[in-house]
Amino acid sequence: MGVFAVNQLDAVRLQRGLADLGKTDPQRARCIRERARASIRRLAAEFPGDPKTGVLDAAVFDEGSEAEERFAEFANDEPCPVLDPETGLCDLYDARPMTCRTFGPPVQSEEGLGVCELCFHGATDEQIAACEMVVDPDDLEAKLLRKLEKTPGGARGQTVVAFCVK
């Protein structure tokens, strides 16, 4: 639940995953697109970026900015359009964004050790730290993203899942 930022590498993965799903299960792929378009219609008026392209304003990522605070409160109850509303399962699990891939285990960031509030309930700080996961030790995601952005027509900026799969 809730809208979160994804980079263009995640967008490409989602688009390819949706294309693959369209070959094996066109009805499920069509449902994802319909949910994404409905989500975009609901989000458009308050979208903190360009509602036509789906690219978020750069100010959303400026720590302490009004835009960052607005995005933190933006569409927290909006279901992800790739989640099947009947099962709650991700229809594009193999192509899911990095945020989804790392959700759950404690992950180190600039703000410290990030922990899902639903996981590790009652665990000590030491127990949580012992479960820390290093997301991308060789920084391959950043390298792939830079390569993608340098390709002719390579998109830049962050977006949200609905705009990737519309």
Q: How far apart are CA 27 and CA 30, in angstroms?
A: 5
DSSP state of 57: P
CA trace torsion 70, 95, 100, 156 (10° rounding): -30
In 3D space, the residue among 57, 39, 44, 42 whose CA is nearest the CA of residue 156 turns out to be 57
- Predicted TM-score of the model (pTM): 0.77
In the chain, the percentage of residues whose pLDDT exceeds 70 is 89
In 3D space, the residue among 85, 88, 62, 60 whose CA is nearest the CA of residue 74 turns out to be 60
Q: Is the predicted pLDDT of residue 130 greater than 70, yes or no? A: yes
Where are the domains positioned within the chain?
A: 5-164
Q: Is the predicted pLDDT of residue 105 greater than 70, yes or no? A: no
Q: How far apart are CA 16 and CA 14, in angstroms?
A: 5
Q: pLDDT at position 36, please?
A: 97
31-40, 54-63, 74-83, 120-129: which has the highest mean pLDDT? 31-40
Q: How far apart are CA 124 and CA 131, in angstroms?
A: 11
